[in-house]
Structure 1
């Protein structure tokens, strides 16, 4: 597949596919609906049909072989119709299970522990806007020291949401009554001397692919807008137990692809004329605009890192299997991940600590502790990078197709991030990826999502989708099983390559889209990724890409993010290094003028 097809997928914004808990869905079943065989179809296959089909898979067989195959394949075609007609639960997990851990590799045990930077905590600001944009750690301190109540903090956000969100289109459902009730309960618990932890009383939002009992979880699609789950997802339950206060469900692009849901496009608070990225579009926008303390997004191909990059917030895509995905929209069983979007790096550590943990209902769940210690010595860290990653940013590599892909020069903010990394004392190591057909990995995403949502394809309901899924799923029907399995074997080859690379370095460092190959590879190998603000750029309004729609248009001040990709389960190391860079760069304080 070529890079234009990568762009058509939604500019690397296909979101995490996450499994739903049992749910009531008015007019929409929680199973693949099943489709009756086409009675009008002529399923007799001849040699000429097979000769044309050979072109799809770049193979060539002898004529006598095709004559033998034709009746056999005719029988298979007739048998597959009844198989299509069978109903299967949409959250049915495949027999094969992806595990990012390499055979023979030992991963150091982590005991759950978070030690934040021991800096001075500011006193409660007088202005509500300063409270709204404060970090989770600061808000937790004010709550613990009774400088503010959870109800008061919640009301600050509930006042901002109806004033500001109409400009952004980030919220699908606002849960004001629930939020007030939860905030009062958290305040009562604190008054009684009980604290559930750092997130006690902190208001947050959830991407609307994550099930919440009795609250619509629409997957951003008009086909599922009446869907009301009967129980919470694993992550929603963990956040409730941690004391979080749910402000509402924020927009996912339809079925986690792009930046648009059935209510329209989610907008970037730094420039409301452009999208906020995808597919965790509402999460990035709501955090950047100070409409919540933090949000939870999902990721299969950049859907946390992309809106973090566009909105200038911190987005963490954890190691595959670390955070349980039970009770979230199914899409890509071997790729889906759940993680936080926050305004500060240490906030992401606090949130990950709360949602980390095993779940026996998720076949891919991994029981692994999470430790974060701010007292990292950067001189002990080896950081891999490539100068070309800091040359141009976009969806692809520089070259003849550069203009088509919207590659643009790295911004001053990106280059300042590189300079800051060199200044803090890490050992910089230049690295390069071997030349391999990495784009072939994308077919795994197409195939998995096509299987999960097969009922939409076979029923023709895919034509009702806003998101550009239909042809991707139809294309997947023409990939041979042999080629798919070879792609999965190639995926193992890439995993082994990354494992060897992480013997040389601790972290790979680039602008979030300085290397689309790096971002894509780390999605398919299961490695953790982090995107956070490093500065700013001046650019005319963009679409989901990086190049201006109209280069002569008025320039706007927008954010630039840098990213890290680390060893499996070493999110703590990346976050500690990000905190140092955050302090060194000192660009996180600036806010969008929208609120």
Structure 2
């Protein structure tokens, strides 16, 4: 390759691809004109072919694009600025699964304060709420109890970035005064919780788990935080996340799985999942773009709810992918997740991507009779992965088959389904493109070098490579996404929900379509680590999905088992 062509290839490609590019590159070579040779080399990256005459005709326009990019870079837009285009996951012909809203909790036996208070570590929200409502324990005492556990186990598990002790105890005292005065707000009143440290609370730093932002303090309260505190919740910790919402490695170390501390807790909601599993939080808020609630909940044996896209406001949360980010609870049980979701869901004027939809949940349902539940037959039939010498048995195959049998015993009608015949994995670069825009400033200012992980599949390389995704191909992928949303909607017609084992195809597809899911433990492998099953809902079908998952969970005891932290 000609040396001058090689030297200026990056600059030319920036122009050809019509995307928000690396301004530092443009500024470095801004005096060098684009040439036909540069454009022809750039064609190799974008998969196009132009004649020399066509390339020559583009040069003036490409130079104009570069000038436009440079002008936009100078705006220095923060992560909080959203695009003017808003993703809508609603397919043609869609009707909300729930005709109206309603929320009914299951009846529970009266809870008594245990003689050994350490047992409270694994109590559900409902049990802890009974203790507070009946004044067997104060919110201050309960808050201090969980703060002490956070401090005790954080050195081993590394799940906390900021413990908000002073503010939390003050809020707990206020909750006690309200309850004493007869102003009990409901089941979350006085109950401690944590949030993934990509959600802002104006009194504390919001680090995104990253060296590049570890001193950042945002002067806003995330809507989710505000809603939980308005319900009387006590924020006691901002939990770890894999740096910029990938994995379980952050600027302070690697968050561990309480079931096996030789393993990470997975990510990116690493700290939220680990702390709940360890009995250091009754519940916590996580986020998911492509598996970040499902994966750590599976690893740590929690119950994790990923709501439909648009159900929960993202105001005050770090943006990674504006069309795929979702916030949801990681909890001890399905009903706990439903309680938290009921509090945080709903439209928000501060987040134009939120969508109003009814949520109707009845926790008193005890049977699956009348439920039509789909199951992805190929995923359940797959007993092995790999071929030849690399062929290996899938360890949870028998467990997943037992889950199907249990659902049938509980009265469900099981219906086999299959995935649409579409290139689902090929659409996931939508996330890369949006992430590359969300964190372009790191590339422009060489701050991507500050990130902890620097391997080929880590964020720095993804952010850099994403600058070469063309606007045209990004739009084409989103058009294909429209076809996928419609195709999946048609396949799910007539079903209340469907279930699937852990599956990369399902995870990628449903994060693109915006469908909700709840993941919960359904057994343990030979090494004693939790395994999980995923209940998937119709779009905005959280009500039926959570009801069915609760019926299954109530008929098993996997969620009642806890790691031995000693």
Query: Matched residue of 1:66: which SS?
Result: helix
Shift of 1:398: 4.2
Report the more deviating stretch, 493-502 or 281-290: 493-502
In the alignment, which of 517, 538, 542 is matched to residue 529 of structure 1? Answer: 517
* Structure 2 counterpart of 1:566, from 528, 537, 541: 537
What secondary structure does 2:85 align onto? Answer: coil
Aligned counterpart, 1:384:
374
Aligned match for 1:472, one of 462, 465, 482: 462
* Aligned position for 2:10: none
Counterpart-to-counterpart distance in 2, 1:80 and 1:355: 38
How many angstroms apart in 2 are the aligned matches of 1:224 and 1:90?
Answer: 11
Q: CA, structure 1 residues 76+232, in 2 after alignment: closer, same or farther (shift >3 Å)?
A: closer
Counterpart-to-counterpart distance in 2, 1:507 and 1:588: 21
Question: After alignment, is 382-391 or 144-153 more displaced?
Answer: 382-391
- Other structure's SS at 1:335 match: coil
Equivalence map 1:299-378=2 (5 Å): 299-376=288-365, 377-378=367-368
Query: Which is worse superposed, 88-97 or 340-349?
Result: 88-97
| Displaced runs of 4 or more, over 6 A | none
Uncovered stretches (5+) of structure 1, i.e. residues with no partner? 1-31, 539-555
The corresponding residue for 1:104 is 93
CA distance in 1, matches of 2:217, 2:304: 28
Give the TM-score normalised by the residue count of structure 1.
0.86
Alignment of structure 1 residues 128-527 onto 2, 5 Å:
128-376=117-365, 377-391=367-381, 398-399=385-386, 408-410=394-396, 412-467=398-453, 468-511=458-501, 513=502, 515-527=503-515
Q: What whole-Å deviation, never above 9, does each CA across 1:4-37 have from its counterpart, x for those lacking one?
A: xxxxxxxxxxxxxxxxxxxxxxxxxxxx998695
RMSD (Å) for aligned C-alpha atoms? 2.3
| 1:403 Cα deviation after fit | 5.5
Stretch moving more, 222-231 or 439-448: 222-231
* Bigger relative contact order, structure 1 or 2 (CA pairs below 8 A, ≥6 apart): 1
What's the CA shift for 1:402? Answer: 11
- Structure 2 residue 553 is the aligned partner of structure 1 residue 588: no
Indicate the larger mover: 235-244 or 154-163.
Answer: 154-163
TM-score by length of 2: 0.91
Q: Gaps (5+ residues) in structure 2?
A: 1-20
Q: Alpha carbons of 1:43 and 1:440: their partners in 2 closer, same or farther (altered >3 Å)? A: farther
Q: How far apart, CA to CA, are the structure 1 residues paired with 2:109 and 2:51? A: 77
Report the counterpart of residue 548 of structure 1 in structure 2: none
Question: Is the 8 Å Cα contact of residues 412 and 537 (structure 1) preserved in structure 2?
Answer: no
Contact 1:37 1:82 in 2 (8 A): no
Give 1:8's aligned residue: none
Contact 1:416 1:535 in 2 (8 A): no
Moved more, 524-533 or 500-509: 500-509
Q: CA deviation at 1:47?
A: 2.2
User: Cα–Cα, structure 1 residues 118 and 401, in superposed 2: closer, same or farther, change >3 Å?
Assistant: farther
Deviations 1:382-437 (A, max 9, x none): 111134313559xxx94559969x98432554333222222211111111113321
Residues 132-157 of structure 1: per-residue CA shift (max 9 Å, x gap): 10001111122112222212211221
SS of 1:532's partner is: strand
* CA distance in 2: counterparts of 1:459 and 1:44, whole angstroms: 23
Whether the 8 Å CA contact 2:96–2:358 is kept in 1: the answer is: no
Q: 1:177 deviation in Å?
A: 1.5
SS at match of 1:489: helix
Confirm or deny: 8 A CA contact 1:114 1:349 kept in the other structure. Answer: no
Q: 1-side partners of 2:393 and 2:441: how far apart? A: 37
User: Shift of residue 313 of structure 1?
Assistant: 0.4
Q: Does the 8 A contact of 2:189 with 2:231 survive in 1?
A: yes
